[in-house]
Every structure is written in structure tokens, then in C-alpha cells.
Amino acid sequence: MRFLAVATMVAALMVPWSVRADGVESLKAFFKSTSAMRAHFRQVVTDAQGNKVQEVEGHMQLQRPGKFRWDYNKPYVQQIVGDGEKVWLYDPDLNQVTVRPMSKAIGSSPASLLAGAQDAERNFTLTTVIRSDGLAWAQAVPKAEDSGFDKVLLGFKGDELQKMELHDSFGHVTSIQFSQLQRNPAIANSSFQFVVPAGADVVGE
């Protein structure tokens, strides 16, 4: 037991300082320094047993406060657009649009949390999580019981977002890796204006 305790302490001391950086402070720095973001993303969903059940790719855009757009293009097409008041989800295969008020859609897209930065500490309990991957991780646990997920983890290098993880109550984990990231690009407002396609069914509030 003594050997295990010493080994654990030595391992902790060997972790680079950048790994042990404060994830919550990195999250706050991201909110402070990033008003807009554009990136490619790769999203992988695993079940409670760790089996991969979905893998998709696409591009995302974000403009705080309250606006975001996620365009999934591989292996299927889907759009999630937040215009500051409502969140629109379009599924071309079903020719269906689902719409919800932004205030009730915080669990429908990982960008909802990022875009609503002003309410982060009011709506979430934030803590720092230590991992051995070189990133500073912040954990956000929603205070509302009907948020749609148990927790979100955000991994930063400095104040630049690199990864996100969403954990739901069924044990599913949605892991998102960002690449080709641009911070504070000029993004046209039209990018966040969703127009319902002709003939599409609209459901929701």
C-alpha cells in the first residue's frame, strides 16, 4: 500500500505543469478572448460498453452570444443552427425541421454551452479535471435536471478549445475533436439565419 501511494505521488509529480493547468480558468479565458470560432470537427459516439456507434464529420461556426451553426456532411447530412433565440435542426433525409427555444435547447448541441457563455456559471457547476493528455480540462455539470446530459468536458490548450465530451444518462459519450480552428473570424450574420426548406415538415415549439 505504501509503495502504491509513493508511486501515485511520483506519477503526479512527473505530469507536466501544462497538463495540470486549471481547466476552469482556461474555459473562462476562452469566453473572454473568443467572440467567434470556425473549425472542422470529428465526432465519435460510444455506448456504455465503449463500443463506437457513430462517427461523423463536419464544420462548425460560433458567434457569441447565442449564435452557432454545425453542418454535418459525412457520412450523412444534417444542420443545427442557433440564431440567438431558437435552435433549428434540419434532417434532409427525413425532410424535417425540429425547432426549440434556445433556453430549452442547451442539451441539443455542444455549441449551445459555448455560445451561452454569460450563463455558464449560473447554469453549470464548473470544476477542473486532470488528465494526462496535455490539455487543461473543465467539467460542466448542468444544474437543471432536464438538460439532456449529465456533464460536458472541455479540453483546452491555453485558451484554445481542442476537444469536447458530452456524457448522457445512458452512458453514451460524444467525443468531439476540433481541427483547422480559426479564432475570431469575420462571420456573416446570414450564416446563423435558418430558412425552412420548401416542403419540409416543421415540428417543435
- Show me where the domains of the chain are located: 17-195
Per-residue pLDDT tens digits for 27-77: 988 888 889 999 999 999 999 999 999 999 999 999 988 899 999 998 889
Q: What is the DSSP string of 185-196?
A: ----GGGG---P
> What is the architecture, at CATH level 2, of domain 17-195?
Clam (2.50)
In angstroms, the CA 78 to CA 67 distance is: 17
- Mean pLDDT of all residues in 195-205: 90
Percent of the chain with pLDDT over 90: 54
Angle CA 34–39–41, to nearest 5 = 125
